Amino acid sequence: MKEVIVAKSAGFCFGVKRAVEQVYEQVEKNKEQSIYTFGPIIHNEEVVKDLEKKGVKVIETEEELSNLKEGIVIIRSHGVAKYIYQLLEKNNITIIDATCPFVRKIHTIVEKESSKGSEVIIIGNKKHPEVQGIVGWSKTPATVIENVEEIDQLTISHEKKVCIVSQTTFNYKKFQVLVENIEKKGYDINVLNTICNATQERQVEAKEIASQVDAMLVIGGRHSSNTQKLFEICKNECENTYYLQTLKDLNPDWVKDKQRVGITAGASTPNNIIEEVQTNV
């Protein structure tokens, strides 16, 4: 008999659930108005496709956004730079702000600390929309660091105070290592661990399950940063770790003859997808 262990923390986190619910709420309330999200509301293709069927359009570029003259724009859970709000307000576009409260907290910290003259270091992926949004709240030039090599290239004056924050979904252990290496540079630093508690819990639980099973399945959108990090963590513990977006991606050979199979999922993965995979393992 195969044993399947599903992570209790798998699936929608608070911020994602809140953002998705806000979009569906707007669809119900505003039948006559055009509804847009700036970028996909979450990094999950199934959810985005379902919203498109209901008439929600995804705006991908700032140019498209600045050309908009009517409708409702929903700011996704990743958040955006401050000037995006100003651009929409200038065009009298209705804004529904679905920024995750944990991300919003980072915006507030960065704006406040940079206003005091501190240099801001953001530990995260510079290509990720959440990080790009955080950069856009700093009043001083913000530096994004993802690996130790980038620390060697820091050119911040030692006379400046340095405020360090993190992308909410960053790997906690990597964050600690990077902070320790920045400390060696001798800066006057103020470290704020802004990794979301739910992210930490999810990573710890995934690691624990992966260490106990014969195969590990990590479910999530291919562009989901937090799912990619879960995959890395699980792969370190269990060689037979596989990444899938939906049941369609499940290869039966992955779990055939395996006595214990673990399942976890990123913060943008709906419960019905997790349940479908669990049922078919």
Tokens read off for 113: 């600390």
In single-letter form, the type of residue at position 4 comes to V
- What b/e string do you get for 73-102 counting C-beta neighbours within 10 Å, with b at 16 or more? bbbbbbbbbeebeebbeeeebeebebbbeb
Active-site residue (options: 113, 119, 130, 146): 130
- Is 149 among the residues known to form the active site? no
Phi, psi of 265 (to 5 degrees): -150, 150
Cα–Cα distance measured from residue 86 to residue 88, given in angstroms and rounded to the nearest whole number: 6
Known catalytic residues are 130
